[in-house]
Amino acid sequence: MAVDNWSERRLAFGTAAADYAAGRPSYPLDAVRWTLPEGARTVLDLAAGTGKLTERLLELGLDVYAVEPAAEMRAALPAAAHVLDGTAEAIPLPDVSVDAVTVGQAYHWFDPPVALA
Ligand SMILES: C[S@@+](CC[C@H](N)C(=O)[O-])C[C@H]1O[C@@H](n2cnc3c(N)ncnc32)[C@H](O)[C@@H]1O
C-alpha cells in the first residue's frame, strides 16, 4: 500500500477486494450464532468488507444491513443484504434500528470514541 497515513490506510481496502474475497477464510456458523442475542432478527454488519461474516448472518435467516466504506468491497457483498456506504463513525441507519451489531476483524480500524457512541 502506497499510503502512510492511518486515516487513508483504513479506507484503502478496496484495492485488495478480489484477493480478499478469494483468500480470506470465513467464520464458523456456530460461533456467529453464539455472538447474537436471543431473538435477534435485524443485524448491522459493520465494516462488512466482501461479506465473509455477512454471508453467515444471512445463512442464519437474519435481516442484514451491511455497511462498508470501500466501493470495491461493497460490490462483492451479497445482494440479499441491505448494502450501504458508511463507516463506524457515520453509520447510515437511525439509532436503535437493529437488534445487534457485528464487527468482524475491523474494530482496530475504528476511531473508538466516535464509533462507540
Ligand atoms: C479486515 S476487513 C474485514 C471485513 C469483514 N468484516 C470480514 O470479516 O471479512 C476490514 C474492513 O473494515 C473496513 N473499514 C476500515 N475502516 C473502517 C471504518 N472506520 N468504518 C467502517 N469500516 C471500516 C475496510 O474497508 C475493510 O473492508
pTM value > 0.85: yes
Task: Give residue-wise pLDDT tens across range 76-116.
Answer: 999 999 999 999 999 999 999 999 999 999 999 999 999 99
**CATH code given to domain 6-116:** 3.40.50.150
Q: Which residues of 50-86 are buried (b: 16+ CB within 10 A; e: fewer)?
A: bbbbbbbbbeeebebbbbbbbebbbebbeeebebbeb
> Using CA atoms, how far apart are residues 19 and 84, in angstroms rounded to an integer?
22
Q: Give the start-to-end residue ranges of the domains of the chain.
A: 6-116
Closest CA to 61 of 86, 34, 43: 43
Task: Give residue-wise pLDDT tens across range 26-80.
Answer: 999 999 999 999 999 999 999 999 999 999 999 999 999 999 999 999 999 999 9
**Contact 70 CB / ligand 1 (< 6 Å):** yes
Going from the Cα of 41 to the center of ligand 1, the distance in angstroms, rounded, reads: 22
Phi, psi of 45 (to 5 degrees): -100, 105
> Using CA atoms, how far apart are residues 60 and 47, in angstroms rounded to an integer?
19
